[in-house]
């Protein structure tokens, strides 16, 4: 029996329904659980606050796209001494709709460290590999082929080769990618296998009900049992409210994201927080990037959004990647105003932008519910040792650029030159006494606010994602990662969700 999907225009009264499993959040992890539970014969309701998007809804202008697909219009930032933009999607499919489709397994040494430091027994690579494989097979994950790389990705490969650094095509959840570089604003060719066109429809074919435009405001619970969720219907893009809803369930699964899930628990009478860890231990992958300018045109708008990577420096605390986004988004990193800015923008056809994401395991923050809203207040501080790692990462990127033939690099670092024309000039990236406030960072990979821990006094969930304080309440989003996964988190959180789905199904 096929399920259904409902949108805002279809709600004409208050809603009260019941099911075996209710899942809050339709991003990568929530969609995996919805599919696995529905395929096992459970009655599943998948709730999403945002709307579904089709290719006709995608807007290529970056600012308009962000306003439609991102929470707080794409303007969410950290506070507390360090300003860093962070983007979380509000749409059916969650972040998979607007990310670059990067799917990388966390390395053995990272997962071994999780087990040792967080009292975990079943979260090694050997334990997770079957779950990784199941997700990869379902989505058709494969390395990016050369014919859709484009010059800016292949220049990165060539520069790494000349420097003696390992590099590889990025494995991505795509089928038939055309290299249009539009991942950030939504894949109009539908080549990206975001979960709104893969796992969610598959769950519906097994009978799952998908209810969009529903904002969950509270988890209903008594003692150690969760009984469901309640909230209100919200109009897409405006937040205008209409009807109320309540979904009763045997098992409640929170997959609302590393920021929304702790806020929801805090708003639910501080639920599942005997450890005091809900909303604590906030960690990011702060990303730094350099723009390199070449003599020949690089045609950066063509090629896979992020097609090449280097895992060479993972043990040093950073991962290197190629990057592309709408020029209006990338322009915020460029120096100059007026005519000077215009001249720098005119160099884009000859440029490439490569980035580094840093694990920053020494840097922490906090998520707290803002008064009168479900939006989070985020504080985050970067440890000086992590600043040094980001400086080293930028120095490595500069070396790769010059090895690939760049004539200059623009680092986007305060108190350093706007443009560097040689390795000798670029060496300041690793030798200068950088402060966190000098860096232009973005942080869209976020974790640990409901972290997994074998000791209930130190973490929120166990290795199956079940809240230590509750019998039937689960968290499956990136909040459960005990710290940085060293690489892009999507595939790892989907693998963990695939594992959790078995336990969730048994309890339902």
Adjacent-strand bridge partners of 292: 352, 409
Same domain (yes/no): 100, 163: no
Quick check: 81 pLDDT over 90? no
- Packing angle between helix 490-507 and helix 125-139, nearest 10 degrees? 100
Residue 455: predicted pLDDT: 98
Domain containing residue 199: CATH number? 3.50.50.60
Query: CA-CA distance, 104 to 322, in Å (whole number)?
Result: 15
Same domain (yes/no): 97, 121: yes
Same domain (yes/no): 8, 27: yes
Query: CA-CA distance, 349 to 275, in Å (whole number)?
Result: 52
- Cβ atoms of 466 and 273 closer than 8 Å: no
Query: CA-CA distance, 397 to 310, in Å (whole number)?
Result: 11
Residue 44 lies in a domain: yes
Question: Which of 398, 45, 367, 84 lies closest to 214 in space, CA to CA?
Answer: 45
Cβ neighbours for 63, distance < 8 A, ≥ 6 positions apart:
74, 328, 329
Residue 208: predicted pLDDT: 98
Same domain (yes/no): 338, 321: yes
pLDDT band at 296 (very low <50, low <70, confident <90, very high): very high
Same domain (yes/no): 39, 136: yes
Same domain (yes/no): 239, 387: no
**Alpha-carbon Rg for the chain in angstroms:** 22
78: phi then psi, degrees, rounded to nearest 5: -80, 160
Q: Which of 73-82, 199-208, 308-317, 416-425 has the lowest mean pLDDT?
A: 73-82
302: phi then psi, degrees, rounded to nearest 5: -105, 140
Quick check: 212 pLDDT over 80? yes
pLDDT band at 333 (very low <50, low <70, confident <90, very high): confident
Query: CA-CA distance, 440 to 394, in Å (whole number)?
Result: 12
Q: Which residue has the tokens 């969950």?
A: 216
Q: Tell me, letter by letter, the H, E, C secondary structure of 447-488.
A: ECCCCECCCCCCCCECCCCEECCCCCEEECCHHHCCCCCCCC
Query: CA-CA distance, 41 to 371, in Å (whole number)?
Result: 40
Query: HSE-up of 64 (CA within 13 Å, CB side)?
Result: 5
Q: Which residue has the tokens 């604590």?
A: 280
The H or E element spanning position 500 is: helix 490-507
Q: Which residue has the tokens 């504080």?
A: 379
Between strands 209-212 and 44-48, the pairing is parallel
Residue 77 lies in a domain: no
Residue 83 lies in a domain: no
249: phi then psi, degrees, rounded to nearest 5: -155, 155
Residue 332: how many CB atoms within 10 A of its CB? 11
Of 438, 462, 496, which one is at a domain's C-terminal end? 438
Same domain (yes/no): 257, 170: no
Quick check: 428 pLDDT over 90? yes
Residue 62: predicted pLDDT: 86
**Percent of residues, the chain, with pLDDT higher than 70:** 100
Same domain (yes/no): 406, 463: no
Q: Read off the pLDDT of residues 437-476 as tens digits, 9 standing for 90 and up.
A: 999 999 999 999 999 999 999 999 999 999 999 999 999 9
**Neighbour order of strands in the sheet with 308-310:** 168-169, 308-310, 318-323, 351-358, 287-293, 408-410
Q: Which residue has the tokens 């709730």?
A: 47
Residue 445 lies in a domain: no
Q: Read off the pLDDT of residues 252-294 as tens digits, 9 standing for 90 and up.
A: 999 999 999 999 999 999 999 999 999 999 999 999 999 999 9
Residue 76 lies in a domain: no
Domain containing residue 170: CATH number? 3.30.560.10
Residue 1: predicted pLDDT: 64
Same domain (yes/no): 325, 251: no
Residue 3: predicted pLDDT: 85
Residue 80: predicted pLDDT: 79
Average pLDDT over the chain, rounded to whole?
96
Of 387, 418, 438, which one is at a domain's C-terminal end? 438
Residue 79 lies in a domain: no
* Concatenated DSSP letters of 338-373: THHHHHHHTTGGGEEEEEEEE--TT-EEEEEEPTTS
Residue 417 lies in a domain: yes
Residue 458, sorted as left (phi over 0), alpha (psi -120 to 50) or beta, turns out to be: alpha
Provide the number of structural domains found in the chain.
2
Average pLDDT over residues 106-125: 98
Six-digit token pair at 402? 């010059």
Same domain (yes/no): 406, 363: yes
First to last CA, the chain: 19
Average pLDDT over residues 177-198: 94
Helix (H, G, I), strand (E, B) or coil at 103: coil
Residue numbers of the domain that contains 364: 143-184+283-438
Question: Which of 440, 388, 380 lies closest to 414 in space, CA to CA?
Answer: 440
């Amino acid at each position: 029996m096929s399920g259904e999907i409902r949108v805002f225009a279809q709600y004409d009264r208050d809603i009260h329904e019941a099911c075996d499993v209710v899942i809050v959040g339709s991003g990568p992890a929530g969609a995996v659980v919805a599919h696995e539970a529905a395929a096992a014969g459970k009655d599943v309701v998948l709730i999403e606050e945002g709307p579904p998007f089709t290719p006709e809804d995608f807007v290529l202008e970056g600012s308009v796209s962000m306003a439609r697909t991102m929470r707080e219009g794409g303007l969410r930032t950290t506070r507390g001494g360090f300003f860093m933009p962070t983007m979380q999607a509000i749409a059916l499919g969650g972040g998979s709709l607007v990310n670059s489709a990067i799917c990388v397994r966390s390395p053995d040494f990272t997962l071994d460290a999780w087990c040792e430091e967080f009292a975990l027994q079943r979260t090694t690579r050997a334990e997770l590999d079957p779950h990784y494989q199941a997700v990869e097979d379902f989505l058709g994950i494969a390395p990016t082929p050369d014919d859709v790389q484009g010059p800016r990705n292949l220049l990165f490969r060539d520069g790494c080769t000349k420097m003696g650094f390992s590099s590889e095509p990025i494995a991505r959840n795509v089928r038939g990618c055309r290299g249009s570089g539009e991942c950030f604003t939504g894949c109009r060719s539908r080549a990206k296998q975001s979960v709104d066109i893969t796992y969610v429809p598959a769950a519906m074919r097994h009978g799952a009900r998908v209810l969009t435009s529903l904002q969950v405001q509270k988890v209903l619970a008594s003692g150690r049992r969760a009984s469901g969720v309640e909230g209100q219907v919200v109009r897409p893009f405006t937040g205008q409210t209409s009807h109320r809803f309540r979904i009763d369930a045997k098992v409640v699964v929170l997959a609302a994201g590393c920021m929304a899930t702790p806020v929801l628990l805090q708003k639910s009478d501080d639920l599942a927080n005997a450890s005091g860890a809900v909303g604590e231990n906030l960690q990011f992958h702060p990303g730094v990037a350099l723009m390199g300018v070449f003599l020949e045109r690089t045609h950066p708008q063509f090629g896979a959004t992020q097609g090449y990577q280097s895992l060479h420096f993972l043990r040093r605390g950073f991962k290197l990647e190629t990057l592309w986004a709408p020029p209006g988004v990338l322009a915020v990193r460029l120096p100059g105003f007026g005519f000077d800015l215009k001249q720098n923008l005119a160099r884009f056809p000859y440029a490439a932008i490569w980035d580094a994401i840093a694990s920053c395991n020494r840097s922490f923050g906090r998520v707290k519910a803002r008064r009168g809203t479900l939006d989070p207040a985020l504080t985050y501080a970067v440890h000086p040792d992590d600043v040094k790692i980001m400086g080293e990462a930028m120095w490595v990127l500069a070396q790769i650029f010059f090895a690939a033939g760049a004539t200059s690099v623009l680092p986007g670092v305060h108190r350093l030159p706007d443009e560097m024309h040689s390795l000798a000039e670029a060496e300041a990236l690793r030798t200068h006494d950088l402060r966190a406030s000098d860096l232009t960072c973005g942080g869209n990979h976020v974790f640990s606010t409901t972290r997994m821990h074998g000791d209930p006094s130190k973490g929120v969930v166990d290795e199956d994602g079940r809240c230590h304080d509750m019998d039937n309440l689960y968290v499956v989003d990136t909040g459960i990662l005990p710290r940085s996964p060293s690489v892009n988190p999507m595939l790892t959180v989907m693998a963990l969700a695939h594992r959790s789905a078995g336990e969730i199904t048994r309890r339902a």
